[in-house]
Chain A
């Protein structure tokens, strides 16, 4: 079974631009969560989608948005990029919503975003 894939793996953008990241979950998984990983903050939850609906959202500004398609693939968009948005963006998929107990999330390798 193929794992979680994320594209692109690396991205360099300049301030003010926007960016779209893509995540393909494990086949059969309907839940996709997005995280921002930085050295100083660790893993910060962005949002979770389940069956095309956003179930939960972290404390990030409205510049961060996402969506999920009927095939469970998900995209994350960041508009008006700031230097502080430089981070590793991880997505994780699971068969059931992430808040369910005993549920394992499977992470992708991440997209390394650098904002210049």
Chain B
């Protein structure tokens, strides 16, 4: 059963704590992405990785960090430097179908920081 899994579904943290969100895929996709979605907003790109051991900053990378040690896994750490971390976090993956970059999303993690 192929797909993208994210855990946990809901996460609560105190301000000042770092937190790591998990993203795993068994689709054999090369590229993986992290987005953030705020209420009533579109998706904003945080980080992306097109190959193992390499990743690039997206539009809103400040306060976040990632690693890509395995093709299947792309965890996102929300650090205490992120000023407004409460949001819906979405992981996606894609395979380059002749440059199409169709992306498929995991179920998301809803992070609340108080």
Asked if A and B bind, the verdict is no
Q: Which residues of B are in contact with A by a Cβ distance under 8 Å?
A: none
